[in-house]
Structures are given as C-alpha cells and as structure tokens.
Amino acid sequence: MTHSNPIIAEMFDAQQFADTGHQLIDLLAAHLKANIAGTSKVLNWKMPSLEDKHWHAPIPQKSTIHPQGLLEKLSQEILPNNLAIHHPHNIGHQVACPLPMSALCDLVASLTNQAMAVYEAGPSATMLERQVVRWLCALINESTWNNAGGVLTSGGAQANLTALLVARQVSTSKANPSSNIWKDGIAQQSALRILASEHAHYSVSRAAGIMGLGTDSVIKIATDKNGKLDLKALQNAHQTCLENQETILAVVANAGCTPTGSIDPLQAIGEYCQAHELWFHVDGAHGASALLSGIHREKLSGIALADSVVWDGHKLMYMPAAVSAVLFKNEQHSYAAFSQDASYLFQGDTHEDEAFNLSYRTLECTKRMMALKLWAAFSLYGTAGMGALVDEAFAKAKTFAEKIQEQSNVELLMKPETNIVCFKYLHDYSNQAQANKHQSDIRQHIIQSGAFHITQVDLHGVIWLRTTLMNPFTTEQDLDELLARVALAAQAVLSMAE
Ligand SMILES: Cc1ncc(COP(=O)(O)O)c(C=O)c1O
C-alpha cells in the first residue's frame, strides 16, 4: 500500500529502506574494517568553536538531499569526523567499541520503536528485558539473588539515581515508619546523608541534588593508596552521622571507580552495612562485568551483599550506548523508586499483572528496547565469549602497567585492578601546577594530533594521564607507540613553551 501524498509515500517506502539500508550496512562494514585496521587518525581534531560555524545552515523547507546524498554525507563528513571507536588507539573513555551484531539489533529497536512503558506497548521487548535482568541477577549470585529483579535504564547515571531513590524511600521509612518521602517530600525529614567513596561517579552527588538533598549530603569517604574505600573512614563517618542524628540513606561503593577502576572491599563493606542495617549500593557500572570472567570474578566477592547494583552494558559488555541495569536483591524494592498514579497507563488491579508494566520502576516513560542487543550478544557468544572480552581488557591493562614501570620517564599511579591505567610524565618541574599543566598539554597535543585518544584525571590535585584499555584490537606495539608519543609530545610542548 502506498500513500496518496508523494512525500509521505517516500518517507515510508520499504524498498528505499532496503536499498539504502544495504548500502549503509556496506558503508558501515567498510568503516568498521578500516577503524579496526587503524589506518586513519583516531580523531580528526577540529576546534569545536570553529567547527560549529559549519553547522548553522537554515532548516530545510524542502528536500535538500536524496538517500544517496545522505550516504555521501555520512561517508565523507560525518563518519570521518567522529571519534573512531573501534580504532586500536582509542583508549580514552570507558565507552565500548560495540559488538557489530548488537549494533544491528539497535536498528531493530529504532525501526520497531517499542515504547515499553507498559507491556502492551512492547510485549517481546518487555520479555527480553526481564530475561536479561534475570541473567544479570543470576551472575551476581544464583542463590542469594533468587528473588532479585530490576530494570534497564538509559545509562548508569540514571541507574544510580533510580537506586538511590529506592534507598531514600526504604531508609527513611525504616527510620520513621509513618513517613512517606515520595508523597510528603523531604521538608519533614531530619538531615539525610549518603556515604560514598570519594571516587564515586559524579552521578551520585547529582542524584543527591536531584532528590533535593543537596550535593553536600554526600559524605565523601577517603580511599587508600589503591583507590579503595577505607573501611575505618566509613565507620568514622557513620559514627558522626549517628551522633548528629542524621539518617543514612545509603552506603555507595565502587566496582570499579571511574578514575582508576579500583574495586572497593565489597565483602567488608557489605558485612558492615548488614550489621548496621544500612542500604548497600554497589556502582558496578564499569566493573560488574568482571562477573563474566572466570579469572576476575573473585575481585567482586561480596557484591551479592548489595541491596542494589548498577551495571552498564555499554562499558565492559561491549554494547552500543546506552543500556544499563539497576538491579535489586529484593525485586519488590524496585517499586519504591517511583510511586505514581497514572490510570491511563496502569490499570491492572493485581500486582502480578502490573509487574510487566516496566515504567512503574523507571524514570523513563517511553524507553528504547535496550535488551535485544544484550540478549543477542549473550545468545550469540555466551558468558564465555563476553568474559573473554573482559579477560582481554584486564590483561592488556596489566601489560601496559608493566611497560610503564619499565620506563624511567613515566610513573605508574597504581597497578590496575581492572582495565584503567593512569600514569604521568616525569620531568624536573618547579611546582605541582607546572607538572599538572604539562600533563594536560601532553594529552592535548596527543589527541589533537589524532594519534591516540586518551583522557586525564585529577586525583588530590595531581593530574594523571588516563587510559581505558577495552579495545580488543589494541596491541602491545600500540602501547609502546603511545609511550613513545607521550615522550615526544612532552618534548614538543616544552620546546613550544620556551
Ligand atoms: C562508575 C560509574 N558510574 C556511573 C557512570 C555513569 O554511567 P553512564 O555514562 O552510563 O550514565 C560511570 C560513567 O563513566 C561510571 O564510571
């Protein structure tokens, strides 16, 4: 059937979709192959303020390109000016180079547009999500997490917010059974606190801001020299809160933390939380995927003691962004985040039916069918395949750290526990500010050259160069080349300053 309006007929032309789609897949496959081969720059650096000037065209009133022109624009302008995510020198952010088959599944999610707020707006999407969530809970612990559940959200930041909303509801009603913070707001509450590692992702303090607690309600707990939460500091902070008659909503631990990938002592923190009836939240956005690895799983020992866990798919599960899971040891808790009356959506009168209407438990009303790509990856490659990616990433980080230690012109921050390696260039600096500026300048020099993509992190006033090794195509030679580039960039930056 075709539409009488030619423009609408063209918009929904299945044949055009197929013809352009086949060419698009060929284009993307060639792009993927070239990226992996690393033949071009990892980043085609342009000053954003200058680049922005090219993107001020008036909104088209009529068609300005045909599908062929769209493909040309993609291949000539858009793809070459993106960060080449599958390039072996892309070792900056904790963003996966996605599995191509999962990326294909994302196309399915786009075309079928299952809204997912309620079961009927995405029946198989809902079932896929429930299946994937069950798998992730079983990976945490098959026996103690047998009543667990949760939902998928668009990203770890939103997942952390969702978990902390639950913690807020549960912890305040435990402290005062007649209170309902969701309904009454925070005004009647005593001071509310979140105890979180000083390395907690910024989404934790942002969640506190969003929840109206104020970002100062997050008490930062010191870490040791390996970036792990110091249990004694946690106990002291807890004690101070008790003395001040403050209510602790949650203790937030990292598995692993954003700056260094370090994993907090989950077993000890979990036991402490259990003994003191504190909500234990593990932000495993980055590192929970170690559960997939037979070798590294042990590092997460104690994670099953958590009341809530966040786990990102678009990090070490190699998914296209965004897909994150927020998981609760007691599935019923996941209903505590949002408690809303929306009769146009939710009509079932038995709890059993309502369990299939996922938006009871998510900030999103309409959300993307996120589970398909994860379900497909597990189905195609199994936990063995997914775990192999984690093993590869962690082994590469270890190798890189060893290479850094062998060189006298760079210093390793710490032995990596996961796949994040931080180091700095050594020179005879006159003060810390100069040393910091030099590290930042080295990084800028490297990323603007397009040779590598790396990041930096400020830890207690010291700037370190930061790499996240999760690209399976990064070789030892690439890592040697990075260290050589750092030395060259260091000299170049110094001579420019003279
Ligand atoms: C530990 C941790 N938690 C949460 C987040 C936020 O996740 P997302 O970027 O998926 O929102 C990040 C992001 O890097 C992270 O490293």
Q: Which residues pair with 193 in a beta bridge?
A: 248
Question: Which pLDDT belongs to residue 10?
Answer: 96
Quick one: pLDDT at residue 350? 53
As a whole number of Å, the end-to-end CA separation of the chain is 71
Spatial distance between the Cα atoms of 306 and 303, rounded to a whole number of angstroms:
6
CA atoms within 13 A on the CB side of 261: 27
Structure confidence at residue 349 as a pLDDT band (50, 70, 90) = low
Q: What is the reported pLDDT for 1?
A: 85
Look at residue 189 in the predicted model and tell me its pLDDT: 87
Rounded Cα distance between 472 and 314, Å, is: 15
3-state secondary structure 259-279: CCCCECCHHHHHHHHHHCCCC
Residue 354's pLDDT band (cuts 50, 70, 90) = confident
> How many CB atoms within 10 Å of residue 219?
19
Ligand 1: centre distance to CA 283 (Å): 8
- pLDDT, one tens digit per residue, over 109-120 is 999 999 999 999
Q: How many CA atoms lie within 13 A of 312 on its CB side?
A: 27
Average pLDDT over residues 282-307: 98
Which residue from 152, 153, 258 has its CB within 8 A of the most atoms of ligand 1, so it is best to mutate? Answer: 258
Confidence of residue 359 (pLDDT cuts 50, 70, 90): confident
User: For residue 177, what are its two tokens?
Assistant: 């059974």
Residue 310 CA to ligand 1 center (angstroms) comes to 9
286 lines ligand 1 (CB under 6 A): yes
Q: What pLDDT score does 348 carry?
A: 57
Centroid of ligand 1 to alpha carbon of 296 (angstroms): 20
283 lines ligand 1 (CB under 6 A): yes
The DSSP code for 246 is: P
Beta strand 218-221 pairing with 247-254: unpaired
Kindly state if the Cβ of 157 falls inside 6 Å of ligand 1.
Answer: yes
Q: Using a 6 Å cutoff on CB, does residue 455 contact ligand 1?
A: no
DSSP category for residue 305: G
| Ligand 1 centroid distance, CA of 258 (Å) | 7
Mean pLDDT of 463-485: 98
Mean pLDDT of the chain: 95
Q: How confident is the model at residue 355 (pLDDT cuts 50, 70, 90)?
A: confident
Q: 179 falls in which pLDDT band (50, 70, 90)?
A: confident
Q: Is the CB of 264 under 6 A from ligand 1?
A: no
With 70 as the cut, is the pLDDT of residue 432 above it? yes
Q: Is the pLDDT of residue 444 over 60?
A: yes
The answer on pLDDT for 210 being more than 90 is: yes
pLDDT at position 352: 64
| Tokens read off for 436 | 């910091």
Are residues 479 and 403 in contact, defined by beta-carbon separation less than 8 angstroms?
Answer: yes
Specify burial of residue 352 (Cβ count, 10 A radius: 0-12, 13-18, 19+): exposed
Q: Do residues 159 and 310 make contact, with C-beta atoms less than 8 angstroms apart?
A: yes
Which among 455, 448, 442 is positioned nearest to 485, based on CA atoms?
A: 442
342 pLDDT band (50/70/90 cuts)? low
Output the six-digit token pair for 74: 């993609």
pLDDT recorded at residue 360: 87
User: Quick check: helix, strand or coil at residue 409?
Assistant: coil
What is the number of the ligand 1 atom nearest to the C-alpha of 155? 10
Residue 224: pLDDT over 90: yes
Q: How far away, in angstroms, is 124 Cα from ligand 1 center?
A: 28
The continuous run of DSSP H or E covering 250 comes out as strand 247-254
Q: Is the CB of 324 under 6 A from ligand 1?
A: yes
Q: Which of 201, 223, 311 to mutate to test the pocket of ligand 1 (most atoms within 8 A of CB)?
A: 201
Q: How high is the pLDDT of residue 497?
A: 77
pLDDT at residue 471 is higher than 90: yes
pLDDT computed for residue 346 by the predictor:
56
pLDDT of residue 351: 58
C-alpha distances (whole Å) from 364 to each of 135, 160, 209, 274, 373 are 22, 14, 19, 31, 19
pLDDT at 188: 82
420-425 vs 410-412, strand pairing mode: antiparallel
Burial (CB count <10 Å: 0-12, 13-18, 19+), residue 49: exposed
Does the pLDDT at position 132 exceed 60?
yes
For residue 212, give every residue at least 6 positions away whose Cβ sits within 8 Å of its Cβ, in sequence order, or none: 185, 186
- The pLDDT, as a whole number, for residue 478 is 98
Give nearest CA residue, ligand 1 atom 5: 156
Instruction: List, for residues 39-72, the tens digit of each pLDDT value.
Output: 999 999 999 999 999 999 999 999 999 999 999 9
Above pLDDT 70, what percent of the chain?
A: 97
Q: What average pLDDT does this structure show over 186-206?
A: 95
Helix (H) or strand (E) holding 153: strand 149-153
322 lines ligand 1 (CB under 6 A): yes
Q: What is the mean pLDDT of residues 198-212?
A: 98
Mean pLDDT over residues 277-291, rounded? 98
Q: Is the CB of 289 under 6 A from ligand 1?
A: no
pLDDT tens, residue by residue, 236-267: 999 999 999 999 999 999 999 999 999 999 99
**Interval between CA 199 and ligand 1 midpoint (Å):** 12
Digit-coded pLDDT (tens) for 361-386: 999 999 999 999 999 999 999 999 99
Q: What is the mean pLDDT of residues 169-174?
A: 93
pLDDT at residue 294 greater than cutoff 90: yes
Q: DSSP 3-state assignment of 297?
A: helix
Ligand 1 pocket test, pick from 197, 206, 286 with the greatest ligand atom count within 8 Å of Cβ, gives 286
Does 201 contact ligand 1 (Cβ within 6 A)? yes
Q: Is 311 helix (H, G, I), strand (E, B) or coil?
A: strand
- Identify which of 295, 276, 296 has the alpha carbon closest to the alpha carbon of residue 286: 296
In the Cβ-directed half-sphere of 370, how many Cα atoms lie within 13 Å?
24
For the ranges 7-16, 176-185, 220-229, the lowest mean pLDDT is seen at: 176-185
Q: Would you state the structure tokens that stand for residue 415, as one six-digit string?
A: 């032995």
Token output for 352:
């059993």
Percent of the chain scoring above 90 in pLDDT:
92
In degrees, rounded to 5, the angle at the alpha carbon of residue 201 between the alpha carbons of residues 196 and 203 is: 95
Closest to 261 (Cα-Cα) out of 461, 436, 413: 413
Whether the CA torsion 489, 491, 493, 495 is positive or negative: it is negative
155 lines ligand 1 (CB under 6 A): yes
